[in-house]
């Protein structure tokens, strides 16, 4: 918060997870937006010959970021869950992106004990990385590394850093009936539009007409 009334309102990044058929999402809103977000794209190309300029779908994209989580403000005002349990709720929501839904786990355990022949797979929630209006991507959490840096008198963590690695899920990995599929396709279309805008700007800066 600054004294300048015209200061822009900064949007918060977040990870939003859905465990269907439950439509209530699990939210991990970034308390402080990460200072950097690293993206790596690897093409799915064929080797040599006539296939050299062909691709087997969109590039494989990975994203890594570091979250800073601090309970200091809540502890100072005496408000919120942090007073009783520290950062456990936030960390549990973050770690939950790697876990299958507990009801399904219990159901599978019951079937196994009863000698059931069919045990359902245990999918993890569908996660979306929300990083502003221009970037909403379905992702799979590849890894989470949490460093708990400070604790209260009950050893609840009150300061932590989480390094998160994500893999963007594309139309190659998603079923067309999945909402995440259409999230990716919308992002794909938006990238095409942004690329076209850059072409118009870049041609003007080049100062000449392209030969093709």
DSSP labels, 48-115:
SGGGTT-BSSSPEEEEEEEEEEE-HHHHHHT-STHHHHTTHHHHHHHHGGGS--HHHHHHHHHHHHTT
pLDDT top residue among 48 and 24: 24
Encoding tokens for residue 65? 């970021």
Instruction: Give the pTM.
Output: 0.79
pLDDT at 140: 93
Number of other CB atoms surrounding residue 27 within 10 Å: 12
pLDDT bucket at 42, cuts 50 / 70 / 90: very high
pLDDT at 1: 47
Rounded average pLDDT over 26-30: 89
Q: What is the per-residue pLDDT across 155-206, written as a single tens digit (0 to 9) for each?
A: 999 999 999 999 999 999 999 988 899 999 999 999 888 888 877 666 555 5
pLDDT at 147: 98
Using the predicted structure, report yes or no on whether residue 144 has a pLDDT greater than 90. Answer: yes
Task: Please name the residues in contact with 164: beta carbons below 8 A apart, sequence gap of 6 or more.
Answer: 15, 64, 65, 66, 67, 94, 141, 143, 144
Q: What backbone phi and psi angles, to 5 degrees, belong to 46?
A: -85, 165
Kindly compute the dihedral angle of the four CA atoms of residues 136, 140, 142, 148, in this order, to the nearest 10 degrees.
Answer: 60
Range among 26-35, 119-128, 132-141, 162-171 rated most confident: 162-171
Query: End-to-end distance of the chain based on CA atoms, in angstroms?
Result: 51
Q: What is the per-residue pLDDT across 77-131, written as a single tens digit (0 to 9) for each?
A: 666 677 789 999 999 999 989 887 777 777 777 777 777 656 666 677 789 999 9
pLDDT bucket at 137, cuts 50 / 70 / 90: very high
pLDDT at 48: 60
Rounded average pLDDT over 11-23: 81
Residue 204 three-state SS: helix
Say if residues 96 and 26 touch (Cβ distance below 8 Å).
Answer: yes
């Amino acid at each position: 918060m600054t004294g300048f009334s015209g200061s822009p309102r900064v949007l918060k990044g977040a990870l939003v997870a859905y465990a269907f058929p439950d439509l209530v999402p699990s939210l991990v809103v970034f308390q402080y937006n990460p200072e950097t977000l690293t993206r790596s794209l690897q093409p799915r190309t064929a080797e040599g010959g006539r296939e050299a300029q062909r691709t087997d779908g969109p590039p494989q994209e990975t994203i890594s970021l570091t979250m800073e989580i601090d309970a200091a403000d809540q502890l100072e005002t005496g408000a919120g869950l942090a007073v009783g349990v520290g950062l456990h709720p936030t960390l549990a929501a973050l770690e939950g992106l790697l876990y299958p839904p507990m009801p399904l786990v219990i159901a599978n355990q019951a079937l196994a004990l009863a000698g059931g022949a069919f045990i359902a797979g245990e999918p993890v929630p569908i996660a979306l990385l929300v990083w502003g209006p221009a970037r909403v991507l379905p992702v799979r959490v590849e890894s989470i590394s949490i460093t708990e840096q400070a604790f209260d008198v009950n050893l609840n963590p009150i300061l932590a850093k989480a390094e998160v690695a994500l893999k963007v899920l594309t139309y190659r990995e998603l079923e067309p009936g999945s909402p995440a599929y259409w999230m990716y396709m919308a992002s794909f279309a938006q990238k095409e539009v942004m690329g076209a805008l850059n072409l118009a700007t870049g041609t003007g800066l080049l100062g000449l007409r392209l030969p093709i």
